[in-house]
Amino acid sequence: MANIPLTRCQFLLPFVGILDEIGAPTSSLLEKFRLPSSLEAKSDLYVPLLPAIRFMETAQRSQGIEEFGFLASQRMHFSHLREKTRALIAHSPTLLVALRHACRWASREDTVLSMWLEHDDDHTRICSRLVGTAGLLHLEHAQWIQNICAIYIVRQFAGLDWMPATIAFESRYTPSLATQSLWPNVRFLSGQPAAWIDVPISHLSLSNPSNEVSPSPHDDENGPSGYDIAELVKLMLPSYLDERIPALAEVAEMARVSTRSFQRKLSHVGLTYSDLLDTVRYENASKLLRDTDSKIIEIAISSGYTDPAHFSRAFRRIAGVTPRGFREQSRLR
């Protein structure tokens, strides 16, 4: 079956911005590779990936631009990710859950982008690869974008100044000394099986401090959108954690939509009712573990769990550590 690897126009905009600022013949360079000239108006649409990479390399060479991929990555922002991906990250209770969402939806950024996590003793690698491009030259342009997007996701939880200990490239490429000087204490590797950055295991349980969600997209049905419903349900559920938690059908009735419509609205933004309930339970438990000396079993019950073992498994799935381990990490911080 034929395959045309695609990338979102959004990721070409930083490269085009640099070319426009130096007075390069941007339109003719885009036309040479059959890429649309009006990229900004089409930022959420897709273009062929391979011509886009050839465009980047030709522009770098013809305009004498050093470190084109790095310079473009410096113009990237968290907002360059798809709205749905940003919203899922904003709703994620921990960095670990956010990274899982990013991995799951990576192919919506580039259709051949594969993203996964590799856990080691004290760190986790956030890996990415453009499937089917092995041996293609000049992938460092795309890999800078891949790695910087992973860094921005971590920074949503670890702070804007966070830096990885290592930035690795699948491409046989080594950043210039000038570029490396802008990343103090970061080790650069080339020729790796995938592009990746590393993050300490202890960071995976970090909570999202912002909970900022993008404006709700147009909803075809009357009533609140999936984003609105998710926010309202998360505000309401904490009141019920130590009592009888409302069933899915009951919450749908509260939202004045059918159960099927409720599920569909949440599905449009990549969420389920179980996701929201897990998030609320985790946020309640993590706060108590951080701020009180309550026993683990008491925290489990007040978070809506009747079985401490079930609580521990659910907490570890979200935070990457047990409740006891989370409490110890929090006190060390």
Please indicate, yes or no, if residue 297 is contained in any of the structural domains: yes
Please indicate, yes or no, if residue 115 is contained in any of the structural domains: yes
If asked whether residues 66 and 93 sit together in one domain, one would say no
Please indicate, yes or no, if residue 304 is contained in any of the structural domains: yes
* Residues sharing a CB contact under 8 Å with residue 59, sequence separation 6 or more, in sequence order: 15, 19, 24, 29, 65, 68
Percent of the chain with pLDDT over 70: 94
The pLDDT tens digits for 273-292 are 999 999 999 999 999 999 99
Q: Of 142, 176, 205, which residue is a domain's last?
A: 205
Confidence class for position 69, pLDDT limits 50, 70, 90: very high
The secondary structure of residue 94, as a DSSP letter, is: B
Alpha helices in the chain (DSSP H): 13-21, 26-32, 49-63, 68-73, 83-91, 95-104, 140-158, 177-181, 226-236, 248-254, 259-268, 273-291, 296-302, 308-319, 323-332
The pLDDT tens digits for 255-269 are 888 999 999 988 888
Confidence class for position 1, pLDDT limits 50, 70, 90: very low
If asked whether residues 87 and 200 sit together in one domain, one would say yes
The pLDDT tens digits for 215-252 are 444 444 455 567 778 888 888 999 999 888 999 999 88
Please indicate, yes or no, if residue 210 is contained in any of the structural domains: no
CA distance 325 to 316: 9
Alpha helices in 162-320 (DSSP H): 177-181, 226-236, 248-254, 259-268, 273-291, 296-302, 308-319
Confidence class for position 64, pLDDT limits 50, 70, 90: very high
If asked whether residues 201 and 94 sit together in one domain, one would say yes
Number of domains making up the chain: 3
SS3 content of the chain, % helix, strand, coil (to 5): 55, 10, 35
Please indicate, yes or no, if residue 218 is contained in any of the structural domains: no
If asked whether residues 199 and 258 sit together in one domain, one would say no
The pLDDT tens digits for 87-100 are 889 889 999 999 99
If asked whether residues 192 and 284 sit together in one domain, one would say no
pTM of the model as a whole: 0.86
The pLDDT tens digits for 29-56 are 999 999 998 888 888 899 999 999 999 9
* Residues sharing a CB contact under 8 Å with residue 2, sequence separation 6 or more, in sequence order: none
Half-sphere exposure of 149 (CA within 13 A, CB side): 28
Q: Per-residue pLDDT for 72 more than 80?
A: yes
What domain range includes position 15? 6-73
If asked whether residues 176 and 88 sit together in one domain, one would say yes
CA distance 177 to 106: 31
Please indicate, yes or no, if residue 314 is contained in any of the structural domains: yes
In this prediction, residue 149 carries a pLDDT of 95
Percent of the chain with pLDDT over 90: 71
CA distance 53 to 70: 14
Nearest to 156 by CA among 214, 109, 107, 116: 214
